[in-house]
Structure 1
Amino acid sequence: MNSEKYLLKLSNYFGLALVLASFCALFDFFVGAAEYQDVVSLGSGGGALGYGLGKLAQQFLGFWGALVALLALLTIGILLGFNTSFRAMVDRAKALGILKEKLLPSGGEEDVPEEISEEEEFSTEENSQEEVAILVHKAEASQEEVVEQAVAKKPRKIIVPLELLTYSNSKPMSGDIDANMAKIKKTLENFGIEVEMSDVNVGPTVTQYTLRPAEGVKLAHILTLQNDLALALAAHPLRIEAPIPGKSLVGIEVPNQTVSIVKLREILESDEYRKRKNNLFISLGKDVAGTPKLANLGNMPHLLIAGATGSGKSVCVNNIILSLIYENSPDELKFILVDPKRVELSVYNNIPYLLTPVINEPDKTINALRWAVSEMEQRYKLLQAANKRNLESYNSAVIVNKLPYIVIIIDELADLMQTAAKEVEGAIIRLAQMARAVGIHLVLATQRPSTNVITGLIKANITSRIAFSVASNIDSRTIIDSAGAEKLLGKGDMLFMTAELTHPGRIQGAYVSDEEISAVIDYIKSQGGEPEYDPKIVEKIGHSHGVMGSSSGGNDYEDDLTMEAKEAVIKAGKASATLLQRRLRVGYARAARLLDILEEMGVVGPGDGAKPREVLVSQDELEENFSTELDETDLGEVNDEESLLDEEDDLAEEVQARKF
C-alpha cells in the first residue's frame, strides 16, 4: 500500500466528523421525546448527540429543512472524508458500468436445459455454489485491477511546501513624502503648470506621486520637465507615466531611499495567487502600489524577456520555473530548458519535470525546436481526431494518458541566433503562431536586445514582453516599442506589457535565491522519483518528416533548381555560371553553387579558368534517368498515401484508447 496515497489530512477528519454527526442525528430524527429514554436504554439510535443535533436542527429549520440540511451535511462529509468529488464519483460509476458490460457475457441469459433430474440438481448444488463463489471472486479481482488502470488516474502530485522559501525582512523607505510633494508642485508651478497633488503609492522600489494637471495643460510639457524634477528631488533616474492607465492622473515615479526585496513566497501566499483561474500563472512581483502581480502564461501565450547583464533576467527565469512547479505536477507540465551559458539552469537537471536534460549545445537546441514543431503537428492531429479545439478540452475528455503542457525556456536567444538564425527564427515563429491551442509555450530571454536577435517577425508573434534595465532608449524600443526601460533601476525592476495593456506597467520582480532554488530542487528529487527523458528530442529530425515546413532553408527550391540546371547544361552541351544565370534567372552566387553541385553529381567536369565546363552526361542518359526517377516518384506517392492512411488509423485508435 502506498502510504502517500492514503495520507489523511485535517479535511478528511473534519469530513468523517460530519458524517458521524449527521448519521447520529438522522438515526434519532424520527424519535419523539417520550421514546428517547427507551431508545437510549436499548443501545440503539444515535445517542444523546444525535438526538440533540436533530432536535436543534428541527427547532431552527423545521422538519423538512432540518432533514435536507442533515442530508447535505452527510454528503459533504462523505466528499471531504474520502477526498473525492461529484465528478469523480460519476466517472467511477460510468467506468464500473462499462466494466460490467465487458466482464459479463453479451448474450444475456445462457440457454439451459429445460429438464434436470433431481439427483443431478442435488449433486451439483454444492459444487455450483463453490464455482459461483470462485467466479465472483475472480470477477471482483479483475474488476478492481481494471478500475485501477482505467479509472481517472490522479497525476503524480508533488506538493512543494512553501516553507522552503523565505520571507523578506526589509521595508521600503521613501523619505519625506510631504516635502517631495511640495517640491514637485513648486517645480511645475515655476514653469507655469498648475497641478493638484493626489495619492501617493509607496512600492518596493519606487514611490509614485500622482497629480492632476489643470485644464489646458499639455502632457508633453510635463514630460519635458523630467530632468528638472529629478534635480529638484535629488533623485535619478526619474520616470513619468502620463497618463496612468485607467486614471486621469499623471504619475511621477521617484526611487526609494531604501529598496524592499520582494520574495517569491509573498506572491505565492497572496490572495491574487489563490484566486488564479488555472495552473499556468507565473509570479512577477509587486507593482508601484505594492500589489502582487501575476500573469497567465496560457493567455499570453509566449513571453519575451530582455535586459542587460545584472538587471534580473536570470532571476526572473528561475522565478517563472518555480512558479509553474508550485502549481503543477510532473504529469501535468514538462519543461525543455536551454542554457548556453551552462551555469544558470543546470541545477534543474534530474527532476521529473524535464523532458530532456538541460540543453547546452546549439545543434541540440535546434533539434529540440524541430521536435517541438513535430509534437505540435502531432497534437493537432490528435485534437482533430477527437474533435476538440484545445488541449484543455481534450484532457477533460480523456481519462488516461492526458497530454502535459510543455514550456520551452531559452535563457540566451542571442547565442542561438548567431549560430543558426534562419532555422531558430523559423521554428520560433511557427511555434508562436500555432502552439497555443496544443499547450506548448515559449519563454525566450536575451541580454542583447538588438534587431538581429529580436527580429520583427519574433516581435510580431510574441506580444507579451518583459523589459529590464537597458543601456539606451533604442534598446527599450526594440523590446517594448517605447522608451522607459533605460530609466529602470536594475535588480528586478521591470516593465511588463501584454496585448491587453496600452502602456507597460512597472513591476519589481520577485527574488528567489540560489539556496531557495536548491532546497526546492532537492525536495522534488526526494519526492518525485527519476526523470523520464526522451532521447528523441535532441536527435536530428530529417527534412523528409515535413518538420519546419518553409523554414528548412530552401532545400526543396534548391533541389528543383538543380534538376533544371542539369537539363539546361546537358541540352546546351556546355556549363557555365553565365549560362545558368540566363536560363534559370538566378544570381551569380546561386549559379556558381549549382555548378559545384553538378560537379559533385558527376554531371560536369572541373573548372578550367574562364572556359565553360565540360558536360559528362549525354542527352540519352538524362532521359533514361528521368524515366527511372518518375517511376520511383509514382511508387513513393503510393507509399506515402498508404502511410498516411495508416497514420490516420493509428490516430483514431490512439484517441479511442485515451477515451474510456
Structure 2
Amino acid sequence: MPKKKSRREQERNREKPKSSKRWHDDLSPETKKSLLALAFFVGATITVLAYLGQAGTLGRYLYGGLSLMLGRGYFLATAAFVLGGLSFLLSLRERLYVSTLIGSSLFLIVSLGVVELIWGGRAGGYIGFGVSYPLAAIFDFWASIIILIAVDLASVLVIFNIPLFAIRDKDDMDEDEEIAEKEETVVVNIADTLKQIAETSKQTVLPKPGAALAPGAATRPEDDFPIMKRPPKYAYKRPPLELLNNDKGTPSSGDIKANANIIQRTLENFGIDVEMSEVSVGPTITQYTLKPAEGVKLSRILSLQNDLALALAAHPIRVEAPIPGKSLVGIEVPNRSIALVGLRSLLQERQYQESGAPLLFTLGRDVTGSAITADLARMPHLLIAGSTGSGKSVCMHGIITSYLYRNPPEVLRFIMVDPKRVELSTYNGIPHLLTPVITDPKKTIQALRWGVREMERRYELLAAAGARDLMSYNVKIGAGKESEEEPLPYLVVIIDELADLMVSFPREVEGSVVRLAQMARAVGIHLILTTQRPSVEVITGLIKANITSRIAFQTGSQIDSRTILDMAGAEKLLGNGDMLFLAGDTAKPRRIQGAFVSEGEVRRVVEFLRREEEAPIYDEAITEPKHDLGKQGLFGGDALDEDDPLYDAAMRVVIESGKASASLLQRRLKVGYARAARLLDILEENGIIGPGSGAKPREILVERQSAQQNPDERIEDEVA
C-alpha cells in the first residue's frame, strides 16, 4: 500500500501560480532611470559619430536617413537625446518615462519646423517642411515662429517636469502672500457663516489617491472650528512655507530583487513556504511583503527575525504579522541610505490643506512614503515617550509648528511646560501663549490646577448655553447677535518632560493630569505629554488608562516598549524620528518616519510671528497660587482644603512630635481612622508632610516656626 504523503510535502509539490510580472518589474526606479539615461547618451554619441563617418556602414545609412529627414537640423537629434538623458540622470521624474520620450520627440520635431521657417529650402528636412508649411500658410511667418517657439519651450518643460517660473523673487512672493491673506480676511456675516457651515456638513473631502491617513486622522466637516462672531482687530498672518526646509536625499534599499530572494530562501530553509508580494520603499525602511502558505503559523515567522537579519546583513529587522487590513506579512529592513522628511512638504499635502480641523497636525511619512496626519481632537490626548535622542523633542516641535501654521491665537492657545528650560523657551513671545513658558515645577502645579478650574468653568458655560461640546457652543455664541460671550479657543497643554515633574510632585501632577484627561475633551482642552523615562513610576496606570493615543520612539528594551504601547516593537526602531504611532481607536501601531524640524526653522517661524503679530498678553493668574480654592484630589473628588476644624491641631501634632501617622492623630485628637487619614492627605497636599513610602515614616517638610504660614504662601515666597 503506497505511503501517504505528508502535508508539508504536498505543500511543496503544489504547483505555484505563474507570475505575471515582467522582467523589469523588480528593478528599482533609480536603476530604470539610469538605464534610460545611458541609452539616450549612447544615441547622442552615435549621431555624432555617424556625422563624422566613424560609425561604420550602419552609421553611414543612419546619417543619410537622418540628413534627409532632418536637413540642417541634424544635430537637433543629438540635442534631443542629451535633454532626455539629463532628465533621467538628474532624477527629475518618478516613473513618467513616456512623458520624457514624448517631450524629447516634440522638441526635435518643433525645432526642425523653426529651422525650416528661418532658412527655408528644406533646411529642416522633410519633418521641418511638414511642420512649417501648414503653419506658414495659415498664420504667416511671425505668428508661426511665435507658436513654434512656445511649443518648443513647452516641450522642454515636459522633459524636465518643471514649472515655467520655478525661481521667483522673494519680494514677489511676499507681495502675493499679502494679497492672498487680504482676500482671506474678508469678514463674513453671521447668517452666511452658519449657512456655509450647514452646507459644508453635507460635503466630504476625498483624500489624495494613495495618500493614507493615520487612524483617527480623518476629519469630518462638522468638526471644523466655526468662524468667530467678532473678527480680530487684525488679520493673522500665517508664516510663509519658505521658512521651512523641504525633503532631502533619496532613499536607497539596495538590490530589492536579491533581498526578496534571500527572504524567501531563508524561510524555505526553515520549512516555511511563502510567496513574495509587493515591495514598498519608505524614507527610512523598505517593507517586503509576503503571503505564507496555508497552515503556516505566524509565530514561526516572528521567531526567525534574527535569522533574517543575519541573512540580509541588516539590523534591526522588524516583522509586522499580519499587516492591518491585508492577509500579508511585512518584513521591514533598514535602508542603506535614508531620506530626510521635511515639514514643508507635509504642510503642502492635500489632506492637511483641505481639512478644516483646527487640531490637525502632521507626523511624517509611512513605509509607502504617504503623508500621515492626525487630529488631536479625536485622540483626545497624546503621550510621546522614548529614549534620549530618539526624536521626541523634534516631533513635539513639528506638532507645535503645524499648529502655528494652521491657527490664529483666537482659535488655539498654548500652555507650555519645560523643566529643562532649553527646549520650549524659544516660543516665548508668540501670541498663542497664555503664559510664558513655565520652567518651575511649583508653577507647573498651579498651572495644572488652573487648567482644572478652567475646565469646570467651561462646563458651566456649556451647560448654561445648552451645548454639548466646544464646537456647538461656539456655533451658538456666533448665532446670538446680542450675546456678550466670546467664542472659546482650544487649549493645548504641552509638558516636555513628565518624569521630572513626577519625581518632584507625583501626587499633584498625576491628579491634575488624570482629571484633565478624563473630562477636558468636550471643552477643548487637550494634553501632549513627553518623557524620556518610560517607567511605570512616570507613565502610571491611571495616566495610561486615560491617554490611549501614544507615540513610541526608540527604546532601550522591550520592557520600555511594553510600558508605552502595551506591546513590543519600539526596541527595534532605528532612532532619528523613527516612531510607532498607536491611535486610540486602533489595535496595532503604525510605523512612521517623523518630520525633521531644525532649531533654525523653529527660530525663523517664531521670529516671524513676533515681528508680524502683537505682543502676547499673559495671564499671571495661571501660575499664581489660589488661597481660597483648596487642592485638587487625586481622583477628581471633593477638593482637600483646610475647612476641617481639626486641621490646625493636626498640623501642630505632627510638627511637634516629628512624625506623622494615622494612629498618632487617632490617639491625640480622638478621631476615627477615616478622618485621621483624610487629615494626613490634607497635610500632604499642603506640603506639610511628605508622601508615604511603605513602612518608612513620613517626612516632616516644614519647621515649627513656619507651621502657621499658609502652604500656598510658602510656595509663592519660594518662587519670589
TM range (shorter): 0.5 to 0.7
**1:279 has 2:366 as partner:** no
Q: For 2:185 and 2:359, how far apart are their aligned partners in 1? A: 24
**1:383 has 2:467 as partner:** no
Q: CA deviation at 1:208?
A: 0.3
* Aligned pairs, number: 455
Matching residue of 1:438:
523
Q: Deviations over 1:420-447 (max 9, x none)?
A: 1001000000000111111111000000
TM-score, scaled to structure 1: 0.64
**1:302 has 2:389 as partner:** no
Given candidates 577, 580, 597, the residue that maps to 2:667 is 580
Matching residue of 1:485:
570
Q: Deviations over 1:321-378 (max 9, x none)?
A: 0011111001111110100000001110011110000000000000000001000100
Q: For 2:518 and 2:678, how far apart are their aligned partners in 1? A: 35
Q: CA deviation at 1:396?
A: 1.7
CA contact under 8 A between 2:630 and 2:640: conserved in structure 1?
no
Letter in 2 for 1:406: L
Shift in alpha-carbon separation, 1:226–1:154, aligned structure 2, 3 A: farther
Q: For 1:588 and 1:437, how far apart are their aligned partners in 2? A: 35
Q: CA deviation at 1:168?
A: 2.2
CA contact under 8 A between 1:91 and 1:152: conserved in structure 2?
no
CA contact under 8 A between 1:565 and 1:580: conserved in structure 2?
no
Matching residue of 1:258:
337
Secondary structure (helix, strand or coil) at the match of 2:555 reads: coil
Q: CA deviation at 1:529?
A: 1.1
Secondary structure (helix, strand or coil) at the match of 2:377 reads: coil
State how 1:462-473 maps to structure 2 within 5 Å: 462-473=547-558
Q: Deviations over 1:441-471 (max 9, x none)?
A: 1000000000000000000000000000010
Given candidates 513, 530, 541, the residue that maps to 1:428 is 513
Q: Deviations over 1:36-88 (max 9, x none)?
A: xxxxxxxxxxxxxxxxxxxxxxxxxxxxxxxxxxxxxxxxxxxx989758765
Q: For 1:428 and 1:292, how far apart are their aligned partners in 2? A: 31
**1:413 has 2:492 as partner:** no
Given candidates 543, 553, 563, the residue that maps to 1:458 is 543
Q: CA deviation at 1:551?
A: 5.5
CA contact under 8 A between 2:365 and 2:372: conserved in structure 1?
yes
CA contact under 8 A between 2:386 and 2:553: conserved in structure 1?
yes
CA contact under 8 A between 1:468 and 1:493: conserved in structure 2?
yes
Secondary structure (helix, strand or coil) at the match of 1:453 reads: coil
**1:404 has 2:483 as partner:** no
Q: For 1:485 and 1:360, how far apart are their aligned partners in 2? A: 30
Q: For 1:548 and 1:416, how far apart are their aligned partners in 2? A: 17
Q: For 1:329 and 1:429, how far apart are their aligned partners in 2? A: 28
Q: CA deviation at 1:485?
A: 0.3
CA radius of gyration, larger in: 1
Q: CA deviation at 1:583?
A: 5.8
**1:268 has 2:347 as partner:** yes
CA contact under 8 A between 1:156 and 1:330: conserved in structure 2?
no
Q: For 2:602 and 2:635, how far apart are their aligned partners in 1? A: 40
Q: CA deviation at 1:522?
A: 0.8
Q: For 1:383 and 1:464, how far apart are their aligned partners in 2? A: 26
CA contact under 8 A between 2:185 and 2:235: conserved in structure 1?
no
**1:235 has 2:235 as partner:** no
Q: For 1:543 and 1:493, how far apart are their aligned partners in 2? A: 47
CA contact under 8 A between 1:156 and 1:331: conserved in structure 2?
no
Shift in alpha-carbon separation, 1:155–1:463, aligned structure 2, 3 A: farther
CA contact under 8 A between 1:450 and 1:478: conserved in structure 2?
yes
Shift in alpha-carbon separation, 1:354–1:215, aligned structure 2, 3 A: same
Given candidates 502, 527, 535, the residue that maps to 2:587 is 502
Letter in 2 for 1:164: L
CA contact under 8 A between 2:650 and 2:665: conserved in structure 1?
no
Shift in alpha-carbon separation, 1:373–1:554, aligned structure 2, 3 A: closer
Matching residue of 1:335:
414
Q: Deviations over 1:610-642 (max 9, x none)?
A: xxxxxxxxxxxxxxxxxxxxxxxxxxxxxxxxx
Q: CA deviation at 1:410?
A: 0.2
**1:166 has 2:245 as partner:** yes
Matching residue of 1:146:
none
Q: Deviations over 1:207-263 (max 9, x none)?
A: 000000000000001000000000000000000000000000000000000011101
Given candidates 614, 623, 636, the residue that maps to 1:538 is 623
Q: For 2:288 and 2:356, how far apart are their aligned partners in 1? A: 33
Secondary structure (helix, strand or coil) at the match of 1:544 reads: coil
Matching residue of 2:109:
none
CA contact under 8 A between 1:580 and 1:586: conserved in structure 2?
no
Secondary structure (helix, strand or coil) at the match of 1:305 reads: strand
Q: For 1:496 and 1:521, how far apart are their aligned partners in 2? A: 27
State how 1:202-217 maps to structure 2 within 5 Å: 202-217=281-296
Q: CA deviation at 1:286?
A: 0.3
State how 1:187-202 maps to structure 2 within 5 Å: 187-202=266-281
Shift in alpha-carbon separation, 1:414–1:246, aligned structure 2, 3 A: same
CA contact under 8 A between 1:581 and 1:587: conserved in structure 2?
no
Supply the RMSD in Å over aligned alpha carbons: 3.3
Q: Deviations over 1:370-410 (max 9, x none)?
A: 00100010011011111111111111222362111111000
Shift in alpha-carbon separation, 1:155–1:452, aligned structure 2, 3 A: farther
CA contact under 8 A between 2:633 and 2:640: conserved in structure 1?
no
**1:225 has 2:298 as partner:** no
Shift in alpha-carbon separation, 1:336–1:591, aligned structure 2, 3 A: closer
Given candidates 442, 445, 455, the residue that maps to 1:363 is 442
Letter in 2 for 1:580: R
CA contact under 8 A between 1:467 and 1:476: conserved in structure 2?
yes
Q: Which runs of 5+ in 2 are unaligned?
A: 1-181, 196-227, 479-484, 652-661, 685-720
Q: CA deviation at 1:312?
A: 0.3
CA contact under 8 A between 2:631 and 2:639: conserved in structure 1?
no
Secondary structure (helix, strand or coil) at the match of 2:505 reads: helix
CA contact under 8 A between 2:266 and 2:308: conserved in structure 1?
yes
TM-score, scaled to structure 2: 0.59
Letter in 2 for 1:414: A
Q: Which runs of 5+ in 1 are unaligned?
A: 1-79, 94-148, 567-574, 598-660
Letter in 1 for 2:627: G
Given candidates 179, 182, 186, the residue that maps to 2:258 is 179
Shift in alpha-carbon separation, 1:583–1:507, aligned structure 2, 3 A: same
Q: For 2:450 and 2:339, how far apart are their aligned partners in 1? A: 43
Q: CA deviation at 1:166?
A: 1.3
- Greater shift in the superposed pair: 548-557 or 473-482: 548-557
Secondary structure (helix, strand or coil) at the match of 2:339 reads: coil
CA contact under 8 A between 2:341 and 2:596: conserved in structure 1?
yes
Secondary structure (helix, strand or coil) at the match of 1:459 reads: helix
Shift in alpha-carbon separation, 1:506–1:591, aligned structure 2, 3 A: closer
Q: For 2:572 and 2:193, how far apart are their aligned partners in 1? A: 56
Matching residue of 2:71:
none
Matching residue of 2:327:
248
Q: For 2:679 and 2:231, how far apart are their aligned partners in 1? A: 62
Secondary structure (helix, strand or coil) at the match of 2:605 reads: helix
Q: For 2:679 and 2:592, how far apart are their aligned partners in 1? A: 55
CA contact under 8 A between 1:429 and 1:461: conserved in structure 2?
yes
Q: For 1:92 and 1:312, how far apart are their aligned partners in 2? A: 42
Shift in alpha-carbon separation, 1:591–1:333, aligned structure 2, 3 A: closer
Secondary structure (helix, strand or coil) at the match of 1:254 reads: strand
Q: For 2:231 and 2:194, how far apart are their aligned partners in 1? A: 8
Secondary structure (helix, strand or coil) at the match of 1:298 reads: helix
CA contact under 8 A between 1:91 and 1:151: conserved in structure 2?
no
Q: For 2:567 and 2:348, how far apart are their aligned partners in 1? A: 33
